[in-house]
Amino acid sequence: MAGSPPPTLTPLLRKLESVIRLDDEERRAVLALPHTIRQVGPHTDVATVGERPAHCCLVLEGWAHRYAYTSAGDRQILSFYIAGDIPDLQHLYLPVMDHSLASLTACTLAFIPHEAMRALVVGRPGVMAALWRDTLVDASVYRERIMTLGRRQSLGRTAHLFCEMYMRQCAVGLADDLSCPLPPTQAELADAVGVTAVHFNRSLRTLRSQRRITLQGGQLTIRDWMGLVAMAEFDPVYLHFNEDRHQSAEKVSA
Amino acid sequence: MARYFFDIENGGQHRDDTGSECRDLDEVRAIAVRTLIGIAAEEAALHDRQTVVVSVRDAAGASLLDMTLTLATAWSNRDGA
């Protein structure tokens, strides 16, 4: 039996190119980044508060998450990360971890030394812009989350999270036809939208009974995209996908 | 940790078949409060009077806690506002 080929950094390239275009030399340089592959089980800490990481952690397969706990022991899941994401990219320039990063499912992770990331961008302004933009989009996702957690109720938050995770997976080729993996448990999804699991379950039942979604065996299927978008007040502009491409299309048509 | 089941009554009845893991009875109480307040914030805005009840059972099915939240709205002079 042939073993599966070793994982490559292609998911990173897909992610960067979902927001900005790179030229051939830049693509080759990204794929040639030195890295160490680690397979981790579910719920394994990668970096915790106070640590000083020396590597960037790139998700190649599986889901990771950032989280924090209150002193009473209540968890808030701050964000989910999928293949191609570098959840701790900002720690290239912010030495100390201010939250914890862990796998959610079993994950294949690539650890890229910080020196290699810094060397990559020297003389490659396109790659520098792509990485900078990646962290800016991360911040934009957090602004949207403040809006959602501050001003929407459980049903809107849940619908919003489903729209976002579907769109993000679509952008890197992990979803299509209104269906995508959604591996977090209901308790984890509840901790991400900041409601009790009991209340989350109620929202899920409402979305199901209104035939907007089905969620089974870690697979989300959206039955009524426009209805879900309306319920979430979801406007994907904050994800900043493909804006350069749209701009050049506009220039051509002008 | 033990599993508790949170049934909800808000107009209709819903029986919780999934349950939630709780560290202790303080957490059971906290989850009941947060669930009531969350549901009221989401669903009671449409009604002048609303009663939401959370009833908690333990894993053996024994009734453990009933918590009721009633929102009553009384306008003094809505027409003149």
Contact check, Cβ <8 Å, A198/B35: yes
- Domain membership of residue A129 (yes or no) is no
3-class secondary structure for chain A? CCCCCCCCCHHHHHHHCCCCCCCHHHHHHHHCCCCEEEEECCCCEEECCCCCCCEEEEEEECCEEEEEECCCCCEEEEEEECCCCCCCHHHHCCCCCCCEEEECCCEEEEEEEHHHHHHHHCCCHHHHHHHHHHHHHHHHHHHHHHHHHHHCCHHHHHHHHHHHHHHHHHHCCCCECCEEECCCCHHHHHHHHCCCHHHHHHHHHHHHHCCCEEEECCEEEECCHHHHHHHHCCCHHHHCCCHHHHHHHHHHHC
How close is the nearest chain B Cα to the Cα of A76, in Å?
Answer: 14
Write the residue in A153, A155, A199 that is nearest to B35 by C-beta.
A199
Picking from A104, A124, A144, the residue at the C-terminal end of a domain is A124
Convert the pLDDT of each residue in A15-35 to its tens digit.
999 888 899 999 999 999 999
**Of A155, A197, A202, Cβ closest to residue B14:** A202
Q: Residue A253 maps to which CATH number? A: 1.10.10.10
A220 and A162 in a common domain: yes
Q: Are A107 and A1 in a shared domain? A: yes
Res B22: pLDDT: 93
Answer yes or no: is A46 within a domain. yes
Domain, as residue range, for A6: 1-124
In a domain, A139, yes or no: no
Residue A206 domain flag? yes
Query: How high does pLDDT run on average in chain B?
Result: 90
Cβ <8 Å between A201 and B16: yes
% of chain B with per-residue pLDDT over 90? 65
Q: Is A115 within the bounds of a domain?
A: yes
pLDDT at B74: 86
Residues A160 and A119 in one domain: no
Query: What is chain A's pLDDT, residue by residue, as a tens digit (254 residues)?
Result: 456 777 899 999 999 998 888 999 999 999 999 999 999 999 999 999 999 999 999 999 999 999 999 998 889 999 999 999 999 999 999 999 988 999 999 999 999 999 999 999 999 999 999 999 999 999 999 999 999 999 999 999 999 999 999 999 999 999 999 999 999 999 999 999 999 999 999 999 999 999 999 999 999 999 999 999 999 999 999 999 877 665 555 555 44
pLDDT score of B81 more than 70: no
Residue from the list B20, B41, B42 with its beta carbon closest to the beta carbon of A198: B20
Q: In this predicted model, what pLDDT tens digit does every residue of B34-53 receive, in sequence order?
A: 999 999 999 876 777 789 99
Whichever domain contains A18, its CATH number is: 2.60.120.10
Task: Tell if the CB–CB gap between A199 and B34 is shorter than 8 Å.
Answer: yes
Q: Is there a contact between A254 and A31 (Cβ–Cβ < 8 Å)?
A: no
Query: Which of B20, B41, B42 is closest, CB to CB, to A197?
Result: B20
- Domain membership of residue A30 (yes or no) is yes
Interface of B with A (CB under 8 A): 6, 8, 14, 16, 18, 20-21, 23, 27, 30-31, 34-35, 38-39, 41-42, 54
Q: Is the pLDDT of residue B80 over 70?
A: no
Which of A148, A198, A231 is the best mutation test for B, with the most CBs of B within 10 A? Answer: A198
User: Residue holding tokens 């984890």?
Assistant: A188
Q: Do A153 and B34 touch (CB under 8 A)?
A: no
Same domain, A100 and A175: no
| Subunit contact A195:B54, Cβ cutoff 8 A | no
Q: What is the pLDDT of residue A236?
A: 95
Are A24 and A101 within one domain?
yes
Nearest CA in chain B to A188: B20
Total domains in chain A come to 2
* CB A239 within 8 Å of CB A164: yes
Chains A–B, number of C-beta pairs less than 8 Å apart = 41
Task: Give the Cβ contact number of residue A10 at 10 Å.
Answer: 15
Residue A142 resides in a domain: no
Whether residues A81 and A173 share a domain: the answer is no
Residue-level pLDDT at A254: 45
A48 close contact with B: CB closer than 8 A: no
Domain limits of chain B?
Answer: 2-72
* Kind plus residue range of the DSSP H or E element containing B81: none
State the ipTM, two decimals.
Answer: 0.91
